[in-house]
A and B are shown apart, each in its own frame.
Chain A
Amino acid sequence: MSDNKRILVVDDDIDIVEQVSAALTADGYDVIAGTSQEEGEDLLLSHKPDLAILDLMMEQMDSGFMLCHQLKRLHPETPVIILTAVTATTGISFASRDPESRAWIKADLLLDKPVRTEFLRHQVRRLLHEAARVAET
């Protein structure tokens, strides 16, 4: 087993999975990927990820939240990024900066789609770094 950090990527857009995986693999992470909530559930049970990037709307409107919830229950320390285009579609507004939203969504970061790969890489580095610091203390 390698020392590389393991990142779970779940998105029903196979091209997003492809691109995010390619970028993160190039950065030296181990990527495990799924393209549905169902696959995501299987993956997070079988592999403990160090970070997860989840699409919000897959089979269900809130698939990303469901996965996030399950992951946090198993591994509360694992940072979760949720990708969403939902704000534009439904007019529902929430932000991970808003403590109230964070409390029920429990995601560490919400990013609007489409997200620039560079920006996503930066956020992944930052969150893993923070998680590592928390783990030390």
Chain B
Amino acid sequence: MEPSRSNTTAVPRLPTILVVDDELGYRDGIRRILRGRGFQAQAAGSGDEALALIAQARYPIVLVDLKMPGMDGFELIRRIRELRPDTLCIVVSAFATVESAVQTTKMGAFDFVVKPFVPEDLMVVVNRAAEKWTLSQEADRLRAEREAHLLELAAEKGRLRTIIQAMGDGVLVVNIDGNIVLDNPVARRLLHSVQIPSLSGRLDSAIDDPRLSETVRRLLSGGGEEVGAILEIHLPSTEARAERFLRATVTSARDAQGQTLGVVVILSDITDAKALERAKTLFVSLVAHELKAPVGAVEGYLRMMADGSLDGQADRLKQIAGRCLERTGALLCLIQDLLEITRRDASRKERLLEPLDLKSICQRLLEFHRPEAERGNITITCEAPATLPPLHADRNDIERMITNILSNAIKYNRPGGSITVQLRATPSVITFQCSDSGIGMSPDERARIGEEFFRAKNSKTRSITGTGLGMSLVKKIVENYNGALEVESTPDVGSTFRILLPVNGDEGSPS
């Protein structure tokens, strides 16, 4: 027992005793005897006086003279028992009849002392009462302590339960027999068992994964040093649900002696992380593929030069150098676009929003691309209202978007073709539209617009260089500004790219 605790609820070693007797001699005599033996003692000359004292303070033991004027001992004991039922009443009486003894005991008196008595006779009875009182005090104290402890335990369990219920990860507790004894809502959700109130039964029936079952079995048998393991669980897709990947952290639960009690399985949903990982791997292999082709082509030409296949063919050499330059140029564009894409994916913080005049930006970019268009005899026209509301966006984003659209319109056009750029505005939306008289796209190709590294492949596009990232970037930019990209296209007639941008398109910008 903690010392501090026993101090605070300290029980006085001896109870305070009230002596009730109408005879002063007995009253004082008994009080003296009691005080002489270390008891605190108070005296009362009548029943009423005694009740008044008892109402004010606790007297665990009361010595009662049976024969008193006014309220007699029987009446007083009855009243005391009413007031304080746990009071130990000892009858002190000259009428030592069996009858009166039985009667007072029936009324709840503790014992009986016959007058006249020697102090030792009295003290035998008083000490017994004192002992009983001390024992019951101790019992009360223990009971109170146990109740407080139980309450604490219950509260602790409740708290733990709440924490487990509120956890973002799934929790399963498996007992030594391999049965689930505790779970939480997340665990049920992850295991597609939301409809049942709690998982129970064998762990194997909740999660069908041989490696997990084996690990849990091993931990439960508890032979080795192993205390836990981390596994990846694949829940394959069914008709009703998509596939899911979980990370299971399995830990054995042991008591203070190191005895295995069960196993705790924490389940985390890593489906999204897995999908991201896959997308990343696919992207990297696509990039590698796109980088390999031009480098391979240039290497092939260099090999031809090195092995003398082109010796003495000045014109051919020049032509091949031109091809090499075209491939390396395209490669540099690809790297540029890749950097642009990764920059865009990595951070949106760098975007600097400012009110932009889309019309002047368009006109400037059209002038920039005009020489390139003129080489293919392509005419560019621009139609725009006198004024446009300012577009709140990052200048680089918008310039990149328009450049990529224009450059496609030129590349995929036909000699002598045309490009028409139209700008329109409502108070909330600005529309940029670019129509070309180019080779157009099939519905399949149109559907794949914006896919990374997708390039329409047919006999008409094979001589056109491109990275397959241009439209992907346009799509990303449009999405960044909560805009929409619409594409209409007819093979051999041309394509129209329409971009709708909210004037205050960026979600982060103040309206």
The answer to whether A and B interact is: yes
Interface residues of A (CB under 8 A from B): 12-16, 18-19, 22-23, 26, 35-36, 38-39, 58-59, 85, 88-91, 113-114, 116-117
Q: Are A113 and B293 in contact (CB under 8 A)?
A: yes
Contact with A along B288-302 (1 / 0, CB 8 A): 110011011111110
What's the nearest-Cβ distance from chain B to residue A84, in Å? Answer: 10
Q: Are B301 and A35 in contact (CB under 8 A)?
A: no
Q: Are B323 and A13 in contact (CB under 8 A)?
A: no
Q: Are A19 and B293 in contact (CB under 8 A)?
A: no
Interface size on B, residues (CB 8 A): 24
State which of A38, A39, A88, A117 has its C-beta within 8 Å of the C-beta of B289: A88
State which of A15, A85, A89, A90 has its C-beta within 8 Å of the C-beta of B301: A15
Does chain A have a CB within 8 A of B309?
Answer: yes
Q: Are B292 and A114 in contact (CB under 8 A)?
A: yes
Chain B, 54-79, CB within 8 A of any chain A CB: none
Q: Are B463 and A19 in contact (CB under 8 A)?
A: no
Number of A-B residue pairs having CB atoms within 8 Å of each other in the complex: 65
What's the nearest-Cβ distance from chain B to residue A130, in Å? Answer: 26
State which of B298, B299, B327, B459 has its C-beta within 8 Å of the C-beta of A36: B459
Q: Are B458 and A13 in contact (CB under 8 A)?
A: no
Q: Are A19 and B462 in contact (CB under 8 A)?
A: no
Contact with A along B304-347 (1 / 0, CB 8 A): 10000100000000001001000100000000000000000000
Given contacts A16-B297, A23-B309, 5 further A-B contacts (CB under 8 A): A15-B327, A16-B300, A19-B301, A22-B309, A39-B459
B457 and chain A: residue at smallest CB distance: A59
Does chain A have a CB within 8 A of B285?
Answer: yes
Residues of A within 8 A of B157 (CB): none
Please report the C-alpha to C-alpha distance between residue A103 and residue B285 in the assembled complex, in whole angstroms: 28
What's the nearest-Cβ distance from chain A to residue B459, in Å? Answer: 5
Q: Are B285 and A14 in contact (CB under 8 A)?
A: no
Contact with A along B441-476 (1 / 0, CB 8 A): 000000000000000011100110000000000000
Contact with A along B148-171 (1 / 0, CB 8 A): 000000000000000000000000
Q: Are B462 and A15 in contact (CB under 8 A)?
A: no
Does chain A have a CB within 8 A of B124?
Answer: no
Provide a sorted-by-A list of 23 A–B residue pairs whose CB atoms are within 8 angstroms.
Answer: A12-B457, A13-B293, A15-B300, A15-B301, A16-B300, A18-B323, A19-B297, A19-B300, A19-B301, A23-B304, A23-B309, A26-B309, A35-B459, A36-B457, A36-B458, A58-B457, A85-B292, A85-B293, A89-B286, A90-B285, A113-B292, A114-B292, A114-B299
A113 and chain B: residue at smallest CB distance: B296
State which of B285, B297, B304 has its C-beta within 8 Å of the C-beta of A22: B304
A89 and chain B: residue at smallest CB distance: B289
What's the nearest-Cβ distance from chain B to residue A63, in Å? Answer: 9
What's the nearest-Cβ distance from chain B to residue A42, in Å? Answer: 11
Please report the C-alpha to C-alpha distance between residue A114 and residue B297 in the assembled complex, in whole angstroms: 8
Q: Are A88 and B285 in contact (CB under 8 A)?
A: yes
Contact with A along B268-286 (1 / 0, CB 8 A): 0000000000000000011
A116 and chain B: residue at smallest CB distance: B303
Please report the C-alpha to C-alpha distance between residue A36 and residue B462 in the assembled complex, in whole angstroms: 8
Residues of A within 8 A of B303 (CB): 116-117
Q: Sort A-B residue pairs by CB-CB distance and give the 3 closest, nearest first.
A: A114-B296, A15-B297, A19-B300
Please report the C-alpha to C-alpha distance between residue A68 and residue B320 in the assembled complex, in whole angstroms: 30
A114 and chain B: residue at smallest CB distance: B296
Please report the C-alpha to C-alpha distance between residue A13 and residue B295 in the assembled complex, in whole angstroms: 12
Please report the C-alpha to C-alpha distance between residue A13 and residue B320 in the assembled complex, in whole angstroms: 14
